Amino acid sequence: MFFKLLLLFTIVPLVELALLLYLADLTNWLFTLGLVIVTGVLGTILARSEGFRTYRVIQQELAAGHLPGASMVDAVMIFLAGALLLTPGILTDAFGFSLLIPWCRAWYRKRLIRWFRTHFTVVSHPSNGSRFAEGPEVIDSHVVDPPPEPDEPRP
């Protein structure tokens, strides 16, 4: 895993730099700089609006008594999109903008959930107060009133 992350954090910036230099060679450095600035500003505006929209959806789901699972995944993807759009580059901007498009986010979310389901196992235990419960167990009980004090009259 460390090796994959090392490759990701070294190869992606080198490819981004090569693409920006190639674009500057095709056009000029001023156009390339302007493109980086415009995509950063536009990405920030779009990420903010999508973030507020997702925040409202989360609030509505919580008010309705539902867990906002898909909306929370969307919020994380929008946050990631904002971070990617602030970094200069063509590939990161393309991926960041795709994370801001709702139907692309739904596609990514579906694949991300499938990946999590294949790589992680969720085990739930009944919450009956015991942390070491073997399984579901029903205990029948009834309430017993304490004996009256000697000084108190009986009801």
- Give the per-residue pLDDT at 141: 67
pLDDT, residue 2, reads: 85
1 belongs to a structural domain: no
**Looking at residue 152, what is its pLDDT?**
57
Q: What is the pLDDT of residue 138?
A: 60
Decide if 20 is inside a domain: yes
Instruction: For residue 125, tell me if it sits in a domain.
Output: no
Residue 131 lies in a domain: no
Closest CA to 51 of 89, 93, 92, 85: 85
- Helix H, strand E, coil C: the string for the chain is CHHHHHHHHHHHHHHHHHHHHHHHHHCCHHHHHHHHHHHHHHHHHHHHHHHHHHHHHHHHHHHCCCCCHHHHHHHHHHHHHHHHHHCCCHHHHHHHHHHHCHHHHHHHHHHHHHHHHHHCCCCCCCCCCCCCCCCCCCCCCCCCCCCCCCCCCCC
Q: How far apart are CA 130 and CA 55, in angstroms?
A: 36
pLDDT at 30: 94
Number of domains in the chain: 1
Give residue 103's domain range: 9-118
Question: Residue 133 falls within a domain, yes or no?
Answer: no
CB 71 within 8 A of CB 58: yes
Instruction: Identify whether 92 is part of a domain.
Output: yes
Query: How many whole angstroms from its chain centre is CA 11?
Result: 25
Is 140 a member of any domain? no
Mean pLDDT per 10-residue section of the chain, whose length is 155 residues: 86 91 93 91 91 93 88 92 89 93 92 87 63 58 69 61
Does the residue 128 lie in any domain?
A: no
